[in-house]
Amino acid sequence: MWRLMIGSSMKPSKPFISWVNIKKQDRYEVGDVVGFKGKNCLFLQCCHRIIKIDDDVFTAKGDNRVIIEDYETDVPIKNIIGKDCSWKKEVKNEL
């Protein structure tokens, strides 16, 4: 499913405004960029890189982030929406 990603957390590898194609996978690995619902968040969805997997939980972080936020740690694998499988062209920010 295509989703609009807005933010600088994945720069420089990903543009500030992008369409991402998120697809469910059978398994996920460290290094995968995934769309996920943050831990203890009702609505927050992110697209960050998995940096650690322990059994049924993972930790993710944006490539452009110095710290790991609480919502990115010990997130259940079931919260993963899918893996970033491709990138559509950057949408120019005219604001």
95: pLDDT strictly greater than 50: no
Beta bridge partners of 46: 36
The contacts of residue 42 (CB under 8 Å, 6+ apart) are none
Q: Which domains does the chain have, with CATH numbers?
A: 2-87 (2.10.109.10)
Q: Which amino acid is at 70?
A: D
- pLDDT for res 44: 61
- pLDDT for res 91: 44
Residues 31 and 50: their CA atoms lie apart, in Å, by: 5
pLDDT in tens, 28-78: 999 999 989 877 665 567 888 999 999 889 999 988 888 888 888 888 999
- What is the 8-class DSSP label of residue 72? G
Of 37, 33, 29, nearest in space to 49 by CA: 33
